[in-house]
Structure 1
Amino acid sequence: MSKVKYKYNPETLSYDEVELTWRDHLKKLSYYAIASIVASVLILFFSYGYIKERGKNEVQYDIEKHEAEILELKSQVEDLKEISSYLQQKDDDIYRVIFGADPYPEYKRELGIGGNPNVKDKYKDLKHGDLLIEVSNKIAMVEKKLYAQSVSFDSVVAMAKKKEELLQSVPSIQPVHNEDLTHIASGFGMRMHPIYKILKMHTGLDFTADIGTPIFATGDAVVEDCKTMSGYGQIVILDHGFGYKTHYAHCSEFKCKKGDKVKRGDVIALVGNTGASVGPHLHYEVLYKGSHVNPVNYFFNDLSPEEFDEVVRISSQPTQSM
């Protein structure tokens, strides 16, 4: 039903009833639609400006935040470079010196340093591209130096283990109890042979002791042989590795067998009087790379400096070997 509308009539000075047609309604609706569209456009215009400005501020904030993060990362990379240099100095000047090793080759530390060539293309168009390229190259450099350092430390650890094994294996104690240093009967060098009565090279030390006195391995070793040998009588031969061997001659009894692994201080035999011997004693020899060396120089583990000097004095006296 059409809505009733009144219109003033100046002739009759009264309001006459006017009925609105569908065109009038359509026209009125058009006005509302146009007004709504205009209002929406105005709202969108002002909102776009606000959103654009806000978005710009957020982007700028993100850029500044990322720039700060990149600078912080750069600072951390510089700290890592200092740590890497410190570790290198410790490695070359302390650890490798302890084990008598040459410094880790510099060319291996620097191998491949120069950064990733693809980094430049990746970051060159960014606002902070130069900074990103610099940081990326430094990270690559530090990674490679730290890897080289880890390889170097692996070799140092291997040297330490080898050094520990060497220290346990090198002959370094007296082969019989000799706290009062009175049991050395004859030293290393030219001595009068007790049977042939001629000067002959005495290639070891003679320790006087009662038959049955325990004989100790002077370092960790593998028993190379237990046998009877001309002149030496019953002899134990130990292979200590690292070029060292020891001989224990004139034994009365073996306490080990070929192939056994022994530790420093283990009883390997008993003192006897077998072979070319004129009395119960132990003839002890140390060989390094196949050559006889003076055993006195290998008593450093159980002698004080004063006791060592006394042993040297006693063993150097021109006595007859046994």
Structure 2
Amino acid sequence: MMETLSHLSLGFGVALTLKNIALCFAGCLVGTLIGVLPGVGPIATISILLPITFGLDPTGALIMLAGIYYGAQYGGSTTAILVNIPGEATSVVTTLDGHQMAKQGRAGVALGTAAIGSFFAGCVATVIIAALGAPLTKMALLFGPAEYFSLMVMGLCFAVVLARGSILKAFCMIMLGLLFSTVGTDLETGQERLTFGVASLSDGIDFSVLAMGVFGFAEVLRNLESPEARDVVKGKIGRLLPGWDDIKQSIAPVLRGTAIGGILGILPGNGAVLGPFASYTMEKKIAKDPSRFGKGAIEGVAGPESANNAGAQTAFIPLLTLGIPPNAVMALMVGAMTIH
């Protein structure tokens, strides 16, 4: 315990200098602004801004890059709530209830809840990194092919649970998604599959771009059909601080989302993306009235937003302890560390 406190005090001593705080603020601001832009994401942002950090010391550079990553996690929820277009892959679930809250005139409450949940989850996950990094790394190493296969199957089951209406249609969409996932270069043989000679498809179909197209295109067509039926952007955002009733409804989902996202975030792959889906599914399953979900339930915003930020934090555990990047952003962090 004393050793953990000593490490934390050392870390805060380095991070809480005026220069590093300014770099963190700049990174979070840029990340939030980029997270609002659908389809861009932290990967492209970090790749573009990496040369800017060449003149910085290694600690300051990593603080700025990490700030971009964290900021993008929250920024994606803004467009998801206001215009039903997820800015990030981890914000897809937020559209289900966040946009419904906006249509009910509670956009500010949804944004405030997402911010509070993200802040709490990020703080808790930081302590988890310091205190439980080594034990959680050992748990991540226990995952083999069978466990990862089971995890993916669980994710597909979540998709069925999240679907509203016909289960057959949901199953057909899952099969279509699996078909899309086969597009690109085969990892074993290096052969291109279903690219039809299009070079831009050799890396596969990016999930965030696909989600942006599915949600955004549908929203554009809906507005063209009945433009007077929805005016969320021009309407009042409302108060940003949630009321006491909203806070009471959000406390438990935030805690559960933080735990789920923190655990799934350490798994190599896209555990941080799976976290919000798992959180939303759990909240819907244990709710007294599951029919509220998809119609503006605040739990459907608080839980997933906490999960994606906790997952973004704990993704650093396998990187910092084993040198294994669990996702593409962490791979860029390895590149940044190598350069510096």
Higher helix share: 2
TM-score of Structure 1 vs Structure 2, range by shorter chain:
under 0.3
Higher strand share: 1
Larger Rg: 1
Question: TM-score with structure 1 length normalisation?
Answer: 0.21
Higher RCO, Cα 8 Å, sep 6+: 2
Question: TM-score with structure 2 length normalisation?
Answer: 0.21
